[in-house]
Structure 1
Amino acid sequence: MSREATRPAPRGAHTQRSRSGSRLRAWGRHHRAMCLDSARRLIRFPVGSLLTMLAIAIALVLPAALWLALDSARLLDAELGESATLTAYLEPHVGDAQATRIEEAIAAQQAVARTRLITAAEGMAEFQQALGLADALGRLDDNPLPASVVVMPLDPAPEAVRELAGELEGLAGVEEVRLDLAWLERLRHLAELGHRVALALGVLFGLGVLLVVGNTIRLAVESRRQEIEVVMLIGATHAFVRRPFLYSGAWYGLGGGLFAWGLLALGSEWLAAPVSALGASYGAAYQLPRLGGEGSAILLLCSTLLGWLGAWIAVSRHLSQVRPR
């Protein structure tokens, strides 16, 4: 082994690494100290801090509630999509045995999830029960209703259902295929409109959170203007001065998110009973959606980031106007 390989590293390299480690530890200690100090400042003025957090919570509740409503509508859309069925009416001369073979041919299609055969006799029985005309229809010599096959498509999208209907009409023994997609298309258009409205409101109320936090941090900067000028005179950077205010904004945002989460939980509990009763009156077991773990984490993360961003904008704007004297 050569001497160069065994020669120890220069002393300057060790010194450089130790200095870098010291700066990193000092940076971490300052972050920790500013985080705790900003929390103590908020606790020192509880009324003002709570009012600011409550204003942030009110700005977050409406878009979060719309988000839950749209998520509920998405689940409802999926359930209703399962009822997007086609009815293939067979030719009048088709008997029960041939109708069974046609049903098997339809069920073999790749785009078909499941099928149900309704024979001519079963169709007449359902028709009599629905109209309450069993005596009058029972006097008919022949059954005028054809056999039919109810088809559940794999993909409830209107385009896929129309394509499947065209394929089924080409099968032997199928006279007509009927489908009603108007309600499904209206539901999808309403869902798209709801998503855009929720996005617009989320952006607007997010800007409201930025304004609330920015105005609060602006007042905090003005109240500590002399302190800021002093630390800047002794060489403090803008990042050093900005740090405690950024933590204050993050605390405001986190507190506002917690308040919003609590308001949403209370609102869900308050409305749960009447909404369930309304759904039961229509024969549906419907319950109000809840945030859950993932939704709660997203809400708190967004509120904290909005608070941090609002503080950063406010502090950066005012630090550019501060001139040490």
Structure 2
Amino acid sequence: MSRQSQDTPRRGARTQRAGAGGRWRSWGRHHRAMALDSVRRLVRYPVGSLLTMLAIAIALVLPAALWLTLDSARLLDAELEESATLTAYLETRVDAAEAGRIEEALAAQQGVEATRLITAEEGMAEFQASLGLEDALARLPGNPLPASVVISPSDPAPQAVRRLAERLGDVSGVEEVRLDLAWLERLRHLAELGQRVTLALGVLFGLGVLLVVGNTIRLAVENRRKEIEVVTLIGATHQFVRRPFLYSGAWYGLGGGILAWGLLALGGDWLSGPVASLAASYGASFVLPTLGIGGSATLLACSTLLGWLGAWIAVSRHLAQIRPR
């Protein structure tokens, strides 16, 4: 085989690779050009572009704010679970020495993290101080309150606490073990309801974003109808025609996400002072949650995706109706 015949396939392979590389470079250049062109078109009409982005931001702020509220509720729920306690009321015949032994027996039980004994005298003193009825309670012939042991469980889960309460109730000298998890269950049910409401509102406002972007892109397609007919007539594909409008929708969505992020940040700063003061009046410390890096990235990604999707739906629908003449 001659040298020329051996070089021919190699030159053909190099030519094929060069052609593929050229197509990719051309594809990348067109994307960059369309991205920059769509930005220039938005800047050319700043008021209309800003109003569209503001409408998108308003549609995104409410579900994002509800999501932050639920996030703070989950943190509060976790703190309340950690503070869940049991109260074991001892039999009235139990004296102080036996109450100490019962406390040691309760502390030795599996699942008990810490215990605190409240004698009958201490319980009466706390009761008098909380109600302010020292004179009336002092006339009682005796102390009707039993000694009690406050128990902190190692596992604050409601099911684990219930099982622990049943086991501690069998300890000798314990009259009754009480736990109040009804408020914790109500809070959990409210959090679940809030999650579903937030999801429903997120879907509804997401559809609103699609409608806002779709209507804006529809007007842009109608304004450039003649241009689209010309490029379609000379052989442009739908992907080629659709590309600048998709970038416009993505820029609308990204701008709306940035405005929504700014509104959430301003609202958080505006409300942080009154919320901290209200929490301090109840002897607690509470800080409004923020989006953080992950939440901000999620918000911007969702807004950009919604803008791109709204543009794709609008352009695809109208391109099917445009025919070159």
**What TM-score, normalized to structure 2?**
0.90
Shift of 1:140: 6.2
Shift of 1:85: 1.6
Which piece of structure 1 moves more, 212-221 or 176-185?
A: 176-185
Deviations 1:212-250 (A, max 9, x none): 000001111111111112222222221111111111001
Taking the aligned partners of 2:258 and 2:319, their CA distance within structure 1 comes to: 30
Taking the aligned partners of 1:90 and 1:14, their CA distance within structure 2 comes to: 91
Taking the aligned partners of 1:213 and 1:220, their CA distance within structure 2 comes to: 11
The equivalent residue for 1:272 is 272
Distance 1:50 1:172, change over 3 A: same
Taking the aligned partners of 1:281 and 1:78, their CA distance within structure 2 comes to: 22
Shift of 1:17: 1.7
The equivalent residue for 1:159 is 159
Shift of 1:138: 5.5
Distance 1:109 1:246, change over 3 A: farther
Distance 1:147 1:235, change over 3 A: same
The equivalent residue for 2:51 is 51
Taking the aligned partners of 2:12 and 2:100, their CA distance within structure 1 comes to: 90
Shift of 1:47: 0.7
Deviations 1:271-301 (A, max 9, x none): 2222222222222222322222222111111
The equivalent residue for 1:229 is 229
Which piece of structure 1 moves more, 7-16 or 226-235?
A: 7-16
- 1:216 matched to 2:216? The reply is yes
Taking the aligned partners of 1:109 and 1:128, their CA distance within structure 2 comes to: 32
Which piece of structure 1 moves more, 143-152 or 20-29?
A: 143-152
- 4+ residue runs over 6 A deviation: 6-9
- 1:299 matched to 2:299? The reply is yes
Deviations 1:2-54 (A, max 9, x none): xxxx9997332222222221111111111111111111110011011001001
The equivalent residue for 1:257 is 257
Secondary structure at 2:176 match in 1: strand
Taking the aligned partners of 1:228 and 1:37, their CA distance within structure 2 comes to: 15
The equivalent residue for 1:87 is 87
Identity %: 78
**Equivalent residue letter for 1:268:** G
Deviations 1:304-325 (A, max 9, x none): 1110111111111111112122
The equivalent residue for 1:64 is 64
Taking the aligned partners of 1:322 and 1:108, their CA distance within structure 2 comes to: 81
**Equivalent residue letter for 2:79:** E
Q: CA RMSD in A?
A: 2.3
Deviations 1:98-117 (A, max 9, x none): 43443344334443333222
Taking the aligned partners of 2:109 and 2:228, their CA distance within structure 1 comes to: 74
**What TM-score, normalized to structure 1?**
0.90
The equivalent residue for 2:10 is 10
Secondary structure at 2:288 match in 1: coil
Secondary structure at 1:10 match in 2: helix
Deviations 1:171-212 (A, max 9, x none): 222221011122112111111111111111111000000000
Taking the aligned partners of 1:31 and 1:251, their CA distance within structure 2 comes to: 14
Shift of 1:137: 4.9
The equivalent residue for 2:181 is 181
Deviations 1:256-282 (A, max 9, x none): 011111111221222222222222222
Structure 2: gaps of 5 or more residues: 1-5
**Equivalent residue letter for 2:196:** R
Secondary structure at 2:254 match in 1: helix
Taking the aligned partners of 2:213 and 2:75, their CA distance within structure 1 comes to: 35
Summarize the alignment of residues 4-153 of structure 1 with structure 2, pairs less than 5 Å apart.
10-134=10-134, 137=137, 143-153=143-153
Secondary structure at 2:185 match in 1: helix
The equivalent residue for 1:3 is none
Distance 1:267 1:17, change over 3 A: same
Deviations 1:139-190 (A, max 9, x none): 7675443222212234434333222211111222222101112211211111
Distance 1:137 1:39, change over 3 A: same
Taking the aligned partners of 1:97 and 1:115, their CA distance within structure 2 comes to: 16
The equivalent residue for 2:3 is none
Secondary structure at 1:287 match in 2: coil
Secondary structure at 2:113 match in 1: strand
Taking the aligned partners of 2:285 and 2:157, their CA distance within structure 1 comes to: 25
Secondary structure at 1:54 match in 2: helix
Which piece of structure 1 moves more, 151-160 or 306-315?
A: 151-160
Secondary structure at 1:103 match in 2: helix
The equivalent residue for 2:283 is 283
